[in-house]
Amino acid sequence: MKPFARLYRPPSVPRSTNPQRISFSASAATGGQCAGLLRRTGAGTANMAPPRSMTDTSPSARLAGIARHLLAASSSPHPIPAASSHPSTPSRHQLHTASAATPPSTMSSQPEHSTLLIPGPIEFDDAVLQSMSHYSESHVGPAFVSTFGDVLANLRKLFQNTDPTAQPFVLSGSGTLGWDLAAANLVEPGEAVLVLGTGYFSDGFADCLRIYGADVTELKAPVGSRPQLAEIEAALKARSYKAITVTHVDTSTGVLSELRDLSALVHRVSPDTLVLVDGVCSVACEEIAFDEWKLDGVVTASQKAIGVPAGLSISLFSGRAIKALESRKEPPRAYFASMKNWLPIMRNYEAKKASYFATPSPQLVHALDTALKQILSVPLAERFAKHKAASDKIKAHIAELGLKQVAENPDYQAHGMTAIYLPETVTQAQILPSLAKQKVVFAGGIHKEIASKYIRFGHMGVSVLQPERGDIDRALKALDTGLAEFGYQKA
């Protein structure tokens, strides 16, 4: 196999005369009618104060609030070297040789870089990234069609689904596109949806549903908690709902919602209600037994625990959900996001028959094929156990430091990320650049009520599954060093 540095050359990063200038706008772009379009006009900084709009609950303010998440990821003081004019010859920066001074996460054929430990995108395996360099091929050619069919079949295994009436989907787009798929196709204008609120992303799902005309009721929990089953049961008994949505892991708070008992409750109290799950930050690091738990939809994305660069919206919908789609009174108010357009395409691809509605990304699909084969090469239970063990280690360390998590109840804590309250004497504007100097990248807070008070540590995929990289230990050491730098000592 060729060295990865020969296959991938990072682009140069232009400098801006106004590095904090960021503009946002809502967009009705194809494939994501409720997704926000971020236009970066400068190189962001983690030192940016929380935007005033974080106290605003409007959709536009929510979109602006995501700046903190993005800016934290761009806080590294080490700019990416510009690509040379000779792609076949790696530069000294690109062809990196590990040494005693080298961060373990760069002990691969990837260019040296800070370790990305935000709640997605995550660090990627070399083989997955090398799959992205696949030569150009026809998206309806037999080789690619066969690969796509394998991907869909393996997604069923990841979701623990064997019911043939259910259907997996892989579309070009972000995780947010999954919201559009659910909202545009499974709920008609005026139909009621119960949204379980656990943070920024459950709020976003509610906004998306409203865009498509749903009558949304939000059952919100206090920050760091989740709605209780008794509350949910009372809400379901109070009126009829077409669907209930739950964010399995809300990335803004690190809150893990329980699915098994929730779904059982819905099927007992309101059996016609569809159970729809936002699994963007949970699929492949938290267990999801789609068939056993009688779920009707799970939407996710490629760039988190699945471990593939951003660009694929991945979902699975049950036979009940497909029937709801097919029995609509009106056609979906979407084109690219219409499951009626995509359903025959996905069925054909899974049967390894050429089909076409809109062009997929062959390179990303090849990367997903590689990642899924890696995931399924060991029992899923073993994978989930490793994520839990790493999570337990991190959370124990946080407790030893005398710090608290946003999700205080251990039963509510996600295993692929940790949201950490900062000491009163240390700010985001101090700790994030300090971590970046140590070549570790965490994310800032984005929950509107506590945005400036906490940071987020993502621990998914190779950073957990390949302990020889040293990502987790180095991140914890960097956190200790950063806190001490600004005078924090455990009481």
- 410 and 455 both lie in a single domain: yes
Closest CA to 457 of 385, 403, 409: 403
On the question of pLDDT at 170 being above 60, the answer is yes
Confidence class for position 21, pLDDT limits 50, 70, 90: very low
Kindly state the DSSP code that residue 405 receives in the 8-state scheme: B
Kindly state the DSSP code that residue 283 receives in the 8-state scheme: B
pTM of the model as a whole: 0.82
- The answer to whether the CB of 36 falls within 8 A of the CB of 25 is yes
Confidence class for position 59, pLDDT limits 50, 70, 90: low
On the question of pLDDT at 172 being above 90, the answer is yes
Per-residue CA distances from 227 to 134, 281, 349, 403, 412 (Å):
45, 19, 39, 25, 11
* CA angle (225 as vertex; 209, 195 as ends), nearest 5: 15
Kindly state the DSSP code that residue 139 receives in the 8-state scheme: T
How far is C-alpha 24 from the chain's CA centre? Answer: 20
Residue that is last in its domain, among 375, 392, 423: 375
pLDDT at res. 58:
59
Closest CA to 156 of 140, 173, 169, 174: 169
- 400 and 474 both lie in a single domain: yes
- The answer to whether the CB of 403 falls within 8 A of the CB of 419 is no
Write down how long the chain is: 491
pLDDT digits (tens, 9 = 90+) for 462-477: 999 999 999 999 999 9
DSSP lists the bridge partners of residue 82 as none
Helix segments in 113-228, DSSP class H: 126-131, 142-159, 176-186, 200-211
- The count of domains in the chain is 2
- 272 and 396 both lie in a single domain: no
Residue that is last in its domain, among 375, 403, 427: 375
- 271 and 356 both lie in a single domain: yes
Any domain includes 168: yes
* Residue tagged 């009106």 (tokens): 330
On the question of pLDDT at 82 being above 70, the answer is no
pLDDT at res. 109:
85
**The domain that contains 167 carries what CATH number?**
3.40.640.10
Note down the domain range covering 388.
26-124+379-485
* Residue tagged 């009163």 (tokens): 424
Q: What's the rounded Cα separation, in Å, for the pair 118 and 80? A: 18
- The answer to whether the CB of 260 falls within 8 A of the CB of 242 is no
Count of beta carbons in the 10 Å neighbourhood of residue 39: 9
On the question of pLDDT at 53 being above 80, the answer is no
